[in-house]
Structure formats: structure tokens, C-alpha cells
Amino acid sequence: MSQKSPAQPAQTSPELRGQFPQLLLATLASAVGFWAWMLISPIQTHYAELMKLGEGRFP
């Protein structure tokens, strides 16, 4: 017959060390993305008029 191996203790908390740089990078990337959309959004009306586009219409 086979012997049962001893059960390994359940790990209750994950290792969270060293994840701050990744969090910082994701936060900065999101901020830059929103900032870029805020710069581009006022231009969209100019391009819509230039291309004679209505709402929901693609070129």
C-alpha cells in the first residue's frame, strides 16, 4: 500500500515584497494615458467638422 505524504501547511499570506515599483509604474502609465486623452479630446470636434462626420459615424 502507498503511504500518505504529510500535508503541507497552507500559506495564509502571499509574498508582497517588491511590488511597489510595479504599482508606481501602473499608476504613472494610467495618469499619462488620461492626460493624453485630455489633450486630444478638444481636437476631436475640429476633425469631425473637417471630415464631415456625425455622431457615431466612422470615416
Q: What single-letter amino acid sits at 34?
A: F
Q: Is the confidence at residue 52, as pLDDT, over 60?
A: yes
Grid coordinates representing 14 are: 502571499
Q: Are 59 and 51 a contacting pair, CB within 8 Å?
A: yes
Structure confidence by residue, pLDDT tens digits, 10-44: 667 777 788 899 999 999 999 999 999 999 888 88
Grid coordinates representing 43 are: 481636437
Position of cell 499570506?
Answer: 13
Report pLDDT for 28: 98
Report pLDDT for 30: 97
CA distance 38 to 2: 66
